[in-house]
Amino acid sequence: MSEAHSLITIIDDDPSFRRSVERLVRAAGHKVQVFASAVEFLKSKHPDASACLVLDVYMPGLSGLDLQKELARAGIETPLIFITGRGDVPTSVQAMKGGAIEFLTKPFKELDLLNAIDQAIQRDRAMRREKAQLKKLRARYDSLTPREREVMALVVAGRLNKQIAAELNTVEKTIKFHRAHVMQKMAVTSVAELVRAATSLNL
Amino acid sequence: MTARRQHFRPQPFSLLSRELASLCITYLYARRALSPFRQNGPARLRTAFCRKRTRTKWRRATGPTGQIDVPNNATRNIEEIRRLQDCIHDLMVVQVALQGVRQCLERQRPAQESRPLPPAAAPSVPADPERDELALELRAMTELHNLSTKLLATTELHPLLKEILQATIALQNADFGNIQLYNPKIQALEMVAHHGFRKDFLHHFATVTDAASACGRALKLRQRVIIEDVSKDPVYQPHRAIALSAGYRAVQATPLFSRNGEILGMISTHFRQPHRPLDRELRLTDLYARQAAEIIERKRTEEALRKLQSELVHVTRVTTMGELAASIAHEINQPLGAIVNNGNSCLRLLDAIPGAPREIRHSLSDIVNDANRASAIVARVRAMTRRTPSENVSLNLPAVIADVLILARRELDEHRIEVRLALDRQLPCVSGDRVQLQQVFLNLIVNSIEAMSTVADDRRILSIAGEPGDLDGRPAVIVTVNDLGIGLPPEAESRLFEAFYTTKPQGLGMGLRISRSIVEAHGGWLRAKSVSGPGTTFSCILPVAPPQKHE
């Protein structure tokens, strides 16, 4: 059920509790890294490397909720799991609204945490996959020549080759030529796929 | 003096003295007008002040409207009292001025007399009634000034009241007198200061509620009552005998009013012969009465302030405890959480070790369970300081009490206490929070154990009984916890459930208070009953659960 090479990051200012969570998550088969404060985590080399963040809400300096905001601002979309010694409703609502996976109070049942971690890993994996796809797509799009991009835009808009030729002041044969190249470079086999690719790229 | 001399033209002495007397009397009336009744003092009162300084002080005391506002809290009361003291000070100023004027007048007069100041009451020259009047007024004012100085200096109630009483008796040339304070709780006048009376009178009039006596009548009518001859007054009949034996034939009683018209007490004077005090004497008596009323009111205000302060301290302590509970809960949850995680980690790691003894697994499970249980209790305590039941499930009270007895088992055994249970297993379920109700019963049981700690071994019996009952027509369960211990001291019965009240030397005094809060939050009540014979019984009633949720 759990991928052994997903990295879980734990942030908590209480050393004993931090160690205990590290032990638990490691015993469940994950790779773990720990930080004593949110600031330390942000300063680390690859803050976006983890599949999941398990963090305390009330910490000196930057609180868990503050970190949530910071990460959102930096565009880091790592799924978050909050744990806290104080279970008050407003904080939990705020955390969940900010997109957290789960909000647990200490002491928690181990299965609650481990299931949430698994959920987080799934979500993270899906996200990374999407990102990778998008990156590939973008690379492909970048490889198109300007003319090819123009053609693609009109093809996606639903124009016939004849119309495109007229609009771009060239002959149908040239358009067919460009169209073939676009299809090939974008690695699609139908116009429908091309349209989907264009939508993904927000063109 | 020079400035004043400029104002005086050579006038006949009598005319001048009349002016002065009128100024004095007007001021005195103005002084009386410092009552909180929102009447418009006649304009002449204000224009009567020919001294700018006095006028300024008057204005300062009464504010822009020319009236003193009725204060409605303790601090402002004290403010007002201080302002009034300023006005009393003005009286002194006027009196000193009058003395100076008198000096000046005397120098103007032909050298008929060479009386030194202050003027004596009995003149050795041909009697001039107006001058005598003035002299007497002056003496009374001096007395008043002395009194007001004392008021500023001391804060003790009784010595001051005694002073005022003496002054009043001297003023009226009375033979006896007393001051009473009104006790609203018993709605009666209680004597606090007296002069000249014997024990039987004091005993007879120690507390007055009837309307036949002068003071009782004055209390009812809320105005002064004068009985010129007690033997001729028909209403005074019940007290005639005591009056005769005490030796007085006439009595007057002047009520003392507070700033807002409440009766605070009474000042009375008694005369051996049938007598009616003069109007002047009564007027000045009113001044003294005003003084006495102020002193009494100031004392009461200070008392009220002190009481509020101590209540505030109490509330702060309780609130602090709530805060303390919250932060303790948070701090405790950290290590508890760590224990649970570590335990679970171990259990997992144990799976990878074949042949590990089962005991290790069991121990680790127990560790985790206990840590969870501790955390649940912490959560309940926190929820309780927020005064809401945190859980609402159907509970079987006999089971709940059985759990509590397990918790208290060690204590019960150590103190060799026999527990007798009369809990019907078919008792209907109540709805509520298990841990909170356990707290309540544990508190009662612990109190019982302590109450029986000094009782003979064979008489240490704790009985817990439960039976169905009803609460305002709805089905309920009544649980009684009875012990044969030392019982409750008489004053404890009314104060038992107060915060911080305890009969134990190291007690915090919160147990019963919290228990009652919990039971009331569940919709029931908790009471202490004294039974015939030794010991105490606590009864707790809880409404039966509606037939919905089950644990």
pLDDT tens-digit series, residues B384-394? 666 544 578 88
The burial of B158, by beta-carbon neighbours within 10 Å (0-12 exposed, 13-18 middle, 19 or more buried), is given as exposed
Percent of chain B with pLDDT over 70: 68
- pLDDT for res A111: 92
**Average pLDDT of A51-58?**
92
Interface of A with B (CB under 8 A): 14, 16-17, 19-21, 23-24, 26-28, 58, 83, 85-86, 105-108, 110
Question: ipTM score here?
Answer: 0.70
pLDDT of residue B76: 53
How many CB contacts within 8 angstroms connect chain A with chain B? Answer: 65
Do residues A116 and A104 lie in contact, with contact meaning Cβ atoms separated by under 8 Å?
yes
Which comes out higher in pLDDT, residue B42 or B463? Answer: B463
**CA end-to-end distance (rounded Å), chain A:** 38
Which stretch of A121-135, B66-80, B275-289 has the lowest confidence by average pLDDT? B66-80
Of B340, B348, B372, the CB nearest to A28: B348
Instruction: Using DSSP, state whether B447 is helix, strand or coil.
Output: helix
Distance CA B541, CA B32 (A): 59
Residue found under tokens 């509330």: B315
Of A23, A28, A106, the CB nearest to B337: A106
pLDDT at B313: 65
Across the range B396-420, mean pLDDT stands at 86
Q: Shortest CB distance from B345 goes to which of A23, A86, A107?
A: A23
B336 vs A19, A86, A107: nearest CB: A107
- Alpha helix (H) ranges present in B109-246? 129-153, 157-172, 199-204, 214-221, 240-246
Q: Does the pLDDT value for residue B287 go beyond 70?
A: yes
Model pLDDT, residue B347:
92
For residue A164, is pLDDT > 80? yes
Does residue A130 register a pLDDT over 70? yes
Measured CA distances, B68 to B38, B44, B84, B298, B530 (Å): 8, 18, 10, 17, 53
Say if the Cβ atoms of A27 and B348 lie within 8 Å. Answer: yes
Per the structure block, which two tokens stand in for A65? 């909720």
When comparing pLDDT for B63 and A31, which is higher? A31
pLDDT at site B7: 43
In chain A, which residue's Cα lies nearest the Cα of B332?
A85
pLDDT surpassing 50 at residue B206: yes
Asked if B329's CB is within 8 angstroms of A86's CB, the reply is yes
**Whether the bond into A90 is cis, omega within 30 of 0:** no
Gap between the Cα atoms of B463 and A72, Å rounded: 63
For residue A25, the model assigns a pLDDT of: 93
What's the mean pLDDT in B109-117? 47
Q: Which residue has the tokens 């508190």?
A: B443
Whether the Cβ atoms of residue B204 and residue B216 lie closer than 8 Å to each other = no
Query: Among the residues of A28-109, which ranges form H helices?
Result: 38-43, 64-74, 89-97
Closest-CA distance, B346 to chain A, in angstroms, reads 8
Q: Is the pTM of this model over 0.80?
A: no
Lookup: tokens for B257: 């009013």
B324 pLDDT above the threshold of 60: yes
pLDDT of residue A83: 92
Average pLDDT, chain B: 76
Q: Which residues pair with B181 in a beta bridge?
A: B190, B265
Q: Which of B482, B363, B511 is nearest to B422 (CA)?
A: B482
pLDDT at B116 over 50: no
Distances (CA, A) of A46 to A175, B6, B370, B418: 46, 99, 40, 68
Give CA separation, B44 vs A94, B4, B66, B275, in Å. 71, 22, 13, 34
DSSP-derived secondary structure for B212-240: SSHHHHHHHHTS-EEES-TTT-STTGGGH
Tokens standing for residue B155 = 């804060």
Residue from A12, A13, A16 to probe the interface with B (highest B Cβ count within 10 Å): A16
Long-range contacts, stretch B368-373, CB < 8 angstroms, 24+ apart: B368/B339, B368/B340, B368/B343, B368/B344, B371/A107, B371/B336, B371/B339, B371/B340, B371/B343, B372/A107, B372/B336, B372/B340
Strand partners of residue B180: B191, B266
Q: Residue A129 class from Cβ within 10 Å (0-12 exposed, 13-18 middle, 19+ buried)?
A: exposed
Q: How far apart are CA B283 and CA B287, in angstroms?
A: 7
| Residue B56 confidence (pLDDT) | 56
- Average pLDDT of span B274-298: 88
Q: Report pLDDT for B345.
A: 92
pLDDT at position B343: 93
Task: State the Cα angle at B331 between B325 and B332, rounded to 5°.
Answer: 85
pLDDT computed for residue B407 by the predictor: 76
- The bridge status of strand B461-471 relative to strand B418-423 is parallel
Residue B551 has pLDDT above 60, yes or no: no
Lowest mean pLDDT, pick from B116-125, B203-212, B362-371: B116-125
Q: Nearest 10 degrees: CA dihedral of A91, A96, A101, A105? A: 20
Q: Give the C-alpha separation, A190 to A138, whole Å.
A: 18
Find tokens 């400029």 and name the residue: B6
Taking the alpha carbons at both ends of chain B, their separation in whole angstroms is: 95
Check pLDDT > 50 for residue B4: no
The predicted pLDDT at position B300 comes to 83
> How far is residue B384's CA from residue B516's CA, in Å, rounded to a whole number?
12
pLDDT of residue B529: 79
Kindly list the residues from chain A whose CB atom is less than 8 angstroms away from the CB atom of residue B329: 85-86
pLDDT tens figures, B428-444: 999 888 877 888 898 89
Question: Which of the listed ranges B40-54, B180-194, B525-539 does the model predict with the highest average pLDDT?
Answer: B180-194
Give the CA angle between residues B76, B79, B81 to the nearest 5°. Answer: 110
What pLDDT is recorded for position B25?
59
The pair of structure tokens assigned to B305 is: 């302030």
Q: Kindly tell me if the per-residue pLDDT of B111 is higher than 60.
A: no
Residue contact A107–B333, C-beta within 8 A: yes
Q: Phi and psi dihedrals of B543, rounded to 5?
A: -70, 150
- Residue A7's CB is within 10 A of a number of other CB atoms, namely 16
- Using an 8 Å Cβ cutoff, are B193 and B162 in contact? yes
Does pLDDT of B63 surpass 80? no
Closest listed residue to residue B348, CA positions, set A75, A61, A141, A30 = A30
Q: What is the mean pLDDT of residues B275-285?
A: 89
What number is the average pLDDT over the span B184-209? Answer: 86
What residues of A are in contact with residue B338 (Cβ under 8 Å)? 14, 16-17, 19-20, 107
Q: Which of B53-57, B133-137, B422-426 has the least mean pLDDT?
A: B53-57
